[in-house]
Homo-oligomer: A and B are copies of this chain.
């Protein structure tokens, strides 16, 4: 009765299952991703599955972790390499993180699409929380240093960081729209959308930071041209 299946190393099997789970998650809300479905798609038995994962939620957690952890080090790296005054460092941070995000835009858009799906509210929150947890410390020190140097004049450091992150959060939705538009032939329209959005964020960022002298700059829309012309 037993059907023979391939035997993999634990790691390979794990990633194989995670791949399948990610794939399924990109088309179904998590509650519809049955373990049975997962088993069939991954070509493994229930026992085999539970040999590698303790529960269905364990899979979700692993999927989310894999989707986010690559970005962890990026922001920190940029910060550690940055030089100059607070404004320059903040600008460098913005450029660095944005560039990194653009390089991984497909993955990020995928994650966002998943998180935005109805029924995936818990995923959405977990993801946002995780992203925040990772970015907050660096941003806190950046802002605090700026305040100490007299370059920024903020209402409150924590509140400012929180609002900055919130202000930037919707960018990817705009990016998605812009990409759609340019994919539909209206490249100029897409670029304009992007430009306006970045300009808005730049002004809001400067207002929140209360820059006393030089202004923080967001990356120019030109940097996004590659992004607007997908594969």
> Which A residues lie at the B interface, using CB under 8 A?
121-122, 124-126, 155-156, 159, 162-163, 166-167, 170, 200, 203-204, 207-208, 210
Determine the chain B residues whose CB is within 8 A of the CB of A167 once the complex forms: 159, 163
What is the copy number of this chain in the assembly? 2
The one of B125, B159, B208 that contacts A200, using a Cβ cutoff of 8 Å: B159
Q: Are B125 and A155 in contact (CB under 8 A)?
A: no
Q: Contacts A163-B163, A163-B166, A166-B163; is A204 near B155 (CB within 8 Å)?
A: yes
Q: Are B207 and A155 in contact (CB under 8 A)?
A: yes
**Whole-angstrom CA separation of A203 from B156 in the bound complex:** 9
Q: Are A155 and B122 in contact (CB under 8 A)?
A: no
| Most chain B CB within a 10 A radius of its CB, from A167, A170, A203 | A167
Please list 20 pairs of residues, one from A and one from B, whose beta carbons are closer than 8 Å in the complex, sorted by A's number.
A121-B121, A121-B124, A121-B126, A122-B122, A124-B125, A125-B125, A155-B200, A155-B203, A155-B204, A155-B207, A156-B200, A156-B204, A159-B204, A162-B166, A162-B170, A163-B166, A163-B204, A166-B166, A207-B207, A207-B208
Q: Return A125 CB to nearest CB of chain B, in Å.
A: 5
Given contacts A121-B126, A163-B163, A163-B204, 9 further A-B contacts (CB under 8 A): A121-B121, A155-B200, A156-B200, A159-B200, A162-B166, A162-B170, A163-B166, A166-B166, A207-B208
